[in-house]
Amino acid sequence: MALSLVGSIPSPANFLSFNDKKTLAELERFHDLGKTAFSEGHYQEARAAFWTAAKAAMRAGLPDKAARDWSNAGFAGVTGMQYRSALEDLTRARASAEACGAMVPLIRTLDNLASLYLQMGEPEQALRIARSALAGPAGNAEADAHAKLFYQEAQALAMLGRLPEADPIFRQAIAQMLSLNKFDAAARSWTSLGGYLLHTGRYQEAESALEQALHLVRLHNLKAAASVLTYLAELNGKRGNAARAEHLFQQAFDANESVTPRWVIYLERGRFRLDYGVNRGALEDFREARRLALRMRAGIVPVDEDRIGVENRINGIFRGLVAAGNRLSAETHDKALLSETFDAAEQDRLWSLRSLIGPEPAPSPIGESPLQHARSALDSESVLLSFSISENSAWLWAVDRRRVAVYALPPPEQLREEIADFTGALRHGGDSTAPGLRLYKSLFGAVPSATLAHKRWLLELDGPLHDLPFAALPVEQPSTFLIERVALQSIPGALLLQRSDSHDRRNTGTFLGVGDPVFNMADPRYRAIAGRKPSRAALPRLPNTAAELEACSRAWGSESTRLLTGSAAGVKPVELAMSESPAIIHFATHMVSSPSEFGSGLIALGIDGNGTMELLGPTDILARRVDGSLIVMNGCHSAQGDTLPGSGLMGLTRAWIGAGAKAVVSTRWDVPDDSAQSLMVNFYKALRGTARGNPAYALREAQLAALHSAGPDREPLHWAGYELLSRN
């Protein structure tokens, strides 16, 4: 990625007062300190120095210099992978530069913004910024700025899978860079183009581009050799020339390179060796890549926005280590490797969850491994079934108190097809028995019956399995559903499991119900703010949800009940009621889609006096603690969210766990009102009674009551869409 550190900007020193000159000297001193810290790789220190310089510039009335150093602070943030702070800095720099018409800082800032969005995995945003810059402020700028922005445009198009469009733009950028003697930038551009060509199977063109890059590197003694050699090694591996690939990888390690992290080279060589069945060598590479990457990753603030761009790379290390270790274990019967691969997968999940639960997610004895923690947290009735699904391999660990084993699953593409066939038939009313039996065999056919006989399955899901309604899987002919055999629950991570003796078995406590909000101005309960013209936000009323809340609260049977309906179901009353730590928080509202928040739904809590829709999303939830509460979202698609490598399912359920909830019940699809109310009433009755406070057993009882009923509720669409995410 091309990044731009903004250099000196002439200052009108002759027109400044003595105090202003003193401030100017201060800001230039911190500007220089920032540049020094950056050159030494101290990106946090560099950002702090640039920030001090920018604030001094604002005090001196020099917004162009403030823009320069806010842009430089953002540059340091991007380089240090502190993406959220970088976005804040660059946004501030852009506003300051636009306000005072400072073209040089503005163009450099836009270049950095495009690069930031590329690293965050948002090529659409990067493309928009690069093109708007080329059409606007960069129109009359120097050729160097044009070349960098063309490069950003090409990168964005390539990331979007539009390489035929990107190819000529790459070459246009390279031609401009060469005409300006920007040989390092040109070499990196050739390398990027070669990498994209390689990964789309255009090997001959990839080799030509990479050879052009290597020629520039050697001719001008540039520090980009490792990247080029790594891609050339990958290319030779794809072509079947293993010996040449090994030689090129070694050359990449030996290159005088300060830009490409060594862990990236270890990662790519590990992947190459894994493809060639050199499992022990691959495992050694992934181990070293992991060691180096974890040292780097430990310094990154684990905020979701910061983490996602990094995770896609680092997740490959853990996936590779799992595949190599499990294959080698099958060859050697080395049980220690099973513990190593399980622990690696769990530590990867844990780091992605640190943004939610902090650095100490669960009390564990000193030296206890993730596998030891998981086994000690399980009771005798439970088994942990932990899945790992990557692009090329799929695995299942089965863990209980006495044993651990790992099983190779069918290829990921086969699993995705079988999941789609089963869920498609189920959702559209077709016969899902045959595809369901195939899928059940693919997932659990190799697992011994003694392991599957546990009464409760804790599912640690990955990839497409987040979309699978496990409860409705048939396990034999004539159809016996999985929910008839076992209680099911998902877990966010094995290291978040609470020990069985810590399970909260309360059957009392406050019931907080939120439902039947005011969703449109035609509702007679709506009261507009006098003198203000309301907006037109509207959703249909949910009149049956008030009765649902009444029935559920009676089934729970607590003496303390608080039901918020109508205008009382707004954000402020709900957040105030949540702060009182209710045992149950039950939402019976609309869920609306969000264009951001990683595909999460948003809880709609009605419209305010201006007619503006009040929404509760993941960010709002994480800002409020609900320690120990059981959250029930009986709204359509409340379980929705993007599934990200190493992070799992994003969205509302994940946010509630991060806010301290002990468990979350949500839905994958719409359920008819009467069926939803009946199932929820049975859930609360079971939770208070025979399930002894365990949500997994309570949900199973409610689903079985629906399955064994005489009416339409017996159809899987009426009960299989409910899922439970729990820490214990």
For the residues of 612-673, what is the DSSP string, one character each?
PEEEE-HHHHHTS--TTPEEEE-STTTT---EETTTEE-SHHHHHHHTT-SEEEEESS---H
Distance, in Å, from the CA atom of 80 to the CA atom of 115, rounded to the nearest integer, reads 13
Task: Render pLDDT for 294-319 as a digit per residue (tens, 0 to 9).
Answer: 776 554 444 444 444 455 667 888 88
Distance, in Å, from the CA atom of 124 to the CA atom of 160, rounded to the nearest integer, reads 8
Supply 372's token pair: 């030891």
Task: Render pLDDT for 240-255 as a digit per residue (tens, 0 to 9).
Answer: 999 999 999 999 999 8
Q: What is the pLDDT of residue 75?
A: 87
Distance, in Å, from the CA atom of 717 to the CA atom of 428, rounded to the nearest integer, reads 9
Q: What is the distance between the terminal CA atoms of the chain, rounded to a whole angstrom?
A: 43
Given a cut of 80, whether residue 256 has pLDDT beyond it is: no
Residue pair 396/461 in contact (Cβ under 8 Å)? The answer is no
What average pLDDT does range 518-541 have in this prediction?
Answer: 70
CB atoms within 10 A of CB 453: 10
Which has the closest alpha carbon to 207: 243, 166, 241, 176? 241
Distance, in Å, from the CA atom of 373 to the CA atom of 352, rounded to the nearest integer, reads 18
Q: What is the pLDDT of residue 641?
A: 39
Which has the closest alpha carbon to 495: 389, 404, 369? 369
Supply 312's token pair: 């896609």
Supply 299's token pair: 């310094």
What average pLDDT does range 159-171 have in this prediction?
Answer: 96
Sorting pLDDT into bands at 50, 70 and 90, what band is 467?
confident
Give one DSSP letter per residue of 210-254, joined into a string.
HHHHHHHHHHHT-S-HHHHHHHHHHHHHHTT-HHHHHHHHHHHHH
Supply 693's token pair: 């406070």
Which has the closest alpha carbon to 152: 180, 132, 179? 132
Sorting pLDDT into bands at 50, 70 and 90, what band is 141?
low
3-state secondary structure of 662: coil
Distance, in Å, from the CA atom of 697 to the CA atom of 686, rounded to the nearest integer, reads 8
Summary count for the chain: helices (H), strands (E): 26, 18
Q: Which of 211-215, 289-293, 360-364 ranks highest by mean pLDDT?
A: 211-215
Q: Which helix (H) or strand (E) holds 145?
A: helix 143-159
* Longest CA pairwise span in the chain (Å): 91
Distance, in Å, from the CA atom of 273 to the CA atom of 282, rounded to the nearest integer, reads 5
What average pLDDT does range 276-282 have in this prediction?
Answer: 96
3-state secondary structure of 103: helix
pLDDT: which is higher, 644 or 406: 406
What average pLDDT does range 106-127 have in this prediction?
Answer: 87
At position 488, the amino acid (one-letter code) is L
3-state secondary structure of 603: strand
Supply 282's token pair: 């691959």
What average pLDDT does range 1-6 have in this prediction?
Answer: 49
At position 719, the amino acid (one-letter code) is W
Supply 503's token pair: 């399970």
Task: Render pLDDT for 487-529 as a digit per residue (tens, 0 to 9).
Answer: 999 998 888 887 654 444 444 689 999 989 988 877 888 776 5
Distance, in Å, from the CA atom of 93 to the CA atom of 9, rounded to the nearest integer, reads 14
Given a cut of 70, whether residue 110 has pLDDT beyond it is: yes
For residue 370, is the peptide bond before it cis, meaning its omega torsion is within 30 degrees of 0?
no
613-616 and 601-607 strand pairing = antiparallel
Residue carrying structure tokens 């020099």? 62
pLDDT: which is higher, 119 or 631: 631
Which has the closest alpha carbon to 374: 727, 29, 43? 727
Q: Which of 39-43, 50-54, 245-249, 522-526 ranks highest by mean pLDDT?
A: 245-249
Distance, in Å, from the CA atom of 660 to the CA atom of 625, rounded to the nearest integer, reads 6
Given a cut of 50, whether residue 557 has pLDDT beyond it is: yes
Task: Render pLDDT for 603-659 as a digit per residue (tens, 0 to 9).
Answer: 888 888 777 888 888 878 887 888 888 999 986 644 443 433 444 444 688 888 888
Predicted TM-score (pTM) of the model is 0.78
Which has the closest alpha carbon to 393: 417, 378, 375, 412? 412
Residue pair 606/514 in contact (Cβ under 8 Å)? The answer is no
- For the chain, list the domains and their CATH numbers: 1-180 (1.25.40.10), 370-496 (3.30.420), 509-672 (3.40.50)
At position 203, the amino acid (one-letter code) is Y
Residue pair 575/624 in contact (Cβ under 8 Å)? The answer is yes
3-state secondary structure of 458: strand
Given a cut of 50, whether residue 13 has pLDDT beyond it is: no
